[in-house]
Amino acid sequence: MVSRLNSQTLQQIIAGTDLFLNLSQGTKEHLAQSFSKVNVARNKAVVRQGEQGDTLYLVATGSFSVYLTTGGKQQKLGEIKAGSCFGEGALITDEPRNATVVCDQPGTVYRIGRKEFNRALKDRPEELSAFVRLISRRSRALHRSVFRPEPRRIKELISSVPLFNGVGAKLISELEPQMEWIFLPGGETLMKQGDKADGMYVVVNGSLVYEVKNHQNRIVSTGYFSKGDIIGEIALLTGEPRTATVVATLSCEIVKISTSAFESVFSKHPPSMLAITKLIVDRLTDDRMGKRTTRQARNIITLFPLQKDISVRSFADRLAQALKKFGRTSIVESRYLKKQIRNNEYAVADILESLYTLQDSHEFLILCPDFDNKLWTETILHHTNRILMLCEANKGGGLSPEEIRYLGDNEDSYGAIRELVLLYSDPNEKPKDTASLTRIRKTDVVRHIRTYNNHGFESLARFITGRSIGLALGGGGAKGLAHIGLMKAMQEENIPIDMIGGTSAGALMASIYAMGNDAPSMERISKALMSDKKTLNDYTVPIVSLIRGKKFNTVIKDFVGDTWIEDLWLPYFAVATSLTKAQKVIIDRGPVWKALRASASIPGVLPPFYEKNDLLVDGAMLDNIPGAVMRQKGADYVISVALSSAGDSAADDIFENLYEKNNSGALPSALLLLFKRIFGKAKRLKEVPNLLSLMMRATFVASDAAMAQAKIESDIFAELPVDDYGLFDWKKFYEIVDIGYKYGKTHAKKWKKQLGIKV
């Protein structure tokens, strides 16, 4: 380790190195204590190409040269001076050194190993992520750039843009030399809302998304730009700041026409200026009237293996087979481009031109990387709507070198959707410890795909094509058993379920399905859980609740074990209510038993579930039928299932005989109440709803407003006719299940038409 004097020098070097710019001062000081000082002699090779390394070097004095050997020939790539560093990739990956570094002038370096580095950033995950992103950026080949193709090509493309229809070729020729031709990689920002306006842009190729936020920073408008669209044309007339943030979703070729260039050219041609000004005003009017339409980019999917032994082509073939039902699909590999270009030498523009051509004739492209071809791989990863990170189930570990290099730099929410796809080839294999994989990498969704059947590929295809089906199950105590029958009918009628979630009893039934159980298994498990074990009979002194909840906890834990939501076969969520924050809580990660326990904590009946200084109770208080949540989670078609509650109020008129006359709301004494129940003339007094039933009903009534919203958000709203059953009729298990089954079979044909499924 370094002395105090050397430590001060080292801190100055660290502070001036761009690699550590995103680290806090405290972290930099902590890191400085972990370096050791090394004197290096002339001609000494500090690192060698191909060797394993785990050390970063900071150059304090001296100079070093970097050499790359390919095909037996050595080439000098550059020099490293004082204040710079090398070998940084070794701190986070086992990838062999990609170059040799030799000392030219004797000097001093400070070194830190992977163990020391990890120890220093152990409790600083955000700073470690920033470090990974920066390393990835340093190796990127694609950046925003300005270049100029042949003038002829610019003229042809500009002439084809609707905004310039009717403008003479002479005028375009005058404008062409003043245009900027911009290459914008996917994920890069073209403009930000509030930026100073300095011209307009014409989209030649590619796709972009725009987003407008209000003063409260909430998104109020969003949409897409694609080939031929104009961006920011209003700036030519008003000069007002940009009204939206625009980001490339695919790599784009864009022409920029500055305000000054536009004015200088068109001022010489009043008729053309008048015509184009009128067209801009018309477009502005359409925007304000909500008439402007935008086109969303076609689906381009890039596969990215996290392990070297994964057959990317095999996965691509299976996915293509599923996608071909919805449109023309092509698998594109780097060798495709080599066939198109005879001399085998090509640039980014050549790759994109080939992809643009394929896009025009296909609904779906599946792009396969080639890690030996960095330019190809980086280009396709910035020209995609969706990245599927393929991983053999239960074999995933840390970040691979390729993952760090190609995917580690992304932090923009506008980038391609990233999905972690875990593959299961063994029917006996189940998901486990998925959270450890998502914790270390940026991923929007996790998908578990069993490769020994086609169901997973078909479900993935529905997500990609905007046809995914989400099932949202409402709560209602024992009435929730009807959900089992409904799902049984859906299975028999081949109505797929791609996402599932629910509230209270609905959350429980949804979890049983998401764990991969078929209809017979669902019946068996549900009966054992709720009907046979009498989970709600461990009464306690009613200080916090009527029921202790220990038995309920035990039964649920015995059922789900240590399974986490991330380890369920389907995307899943449960709805709870936070008493602490007075808001709805969506639980979509973490232990399943906690989600179920929180979602079913009926206030006064079961004790609240306590988690991270938050008291969670039954989700039915705010949202008993979470169809709107399912829509927010990304389901394209939402089926919401309510449990009819009219039957719960059938016996309410009994209270007329229970209360004292002229004193409604006041019960008779306990002794008199007991006498009336046993000997009273009104035998129906024995049917008076008990305390548990009343408290549960009060909970469900509170979410009526959410039910109205669920109806709006749902494509199919099903209300199962369980009116004649109470919230605690667990003993009528098969009767209630059968009601859901018959309802599903009756409506299946109509639902299939609504969902676009062939009948």
Catalytically active residues are 504, 618
Length of the chain in terms of residues written = 759
Query: Rounded to an integer, what distance in angstroms lies between the CA atom of residue 144 and that of residue 162?
Result: 26
| Sign of the Cα pseudo-torsion (648, 649, 652, 653, in order) | negative
Question: How many CB atoms are closer than 10 A to CB 15?
Answer: 14
Query: Rounded to an integer, what distance in angstroms lies between the CA atom of residue 559 and that of residue 507?
Result: 14
Strands 329-332, 615-618: pairing is unpaired
Strands 572-578, 583-587: pairing is antiparallel
Given a contact cutoff of 8 angstroms between Cβ atoms, the answer to whether 212 and 243 are in contact is yes
User: How many secondary structure helices (H) and strands (E) does the chain include?
Assistant: 27, 29
Given a contact cutoff of 8 angstroms between Cβ atoms, the answer to whether 444 and 417 are in contact is yes
Write the CB contacts of 671 (distance below 8 Å, at least 6 apart in sequence): none
Given a contact cutoff of 8 angstroms between Cβ atoms, the answer to whether 722 and 736 are in contact is yes
Q: What are the DSSP E strand ranges found in 615-753?
A: 615-618, 637-643, 716-720
Q: Which helix (H) or strand (E) element contains residue 114?
A: helix 114-120
Query: Rounded to an integer, what distance in angstroms lies between the CA atom of residue 559 and that of residue 526?
Result: 10
Q: What is the DSSP string of 156-210?
A: HHHHTSGGGTT--HHHHHHHGGG-EEEEE-TT-EEE-TTPPP-EEEEEEESEEEE
Buried b / exposed e along 489-504 (16+ C-beta atoms within 10 A) = bbbebebbbbbbbbbb
Q: Which helix (H) or strand (E) element contains residue 422?
A: strand 417-424
Query: Tokens 């004095």 identify what position?
Result: 61
Residue type, 38: V
Strand partners, 244: none
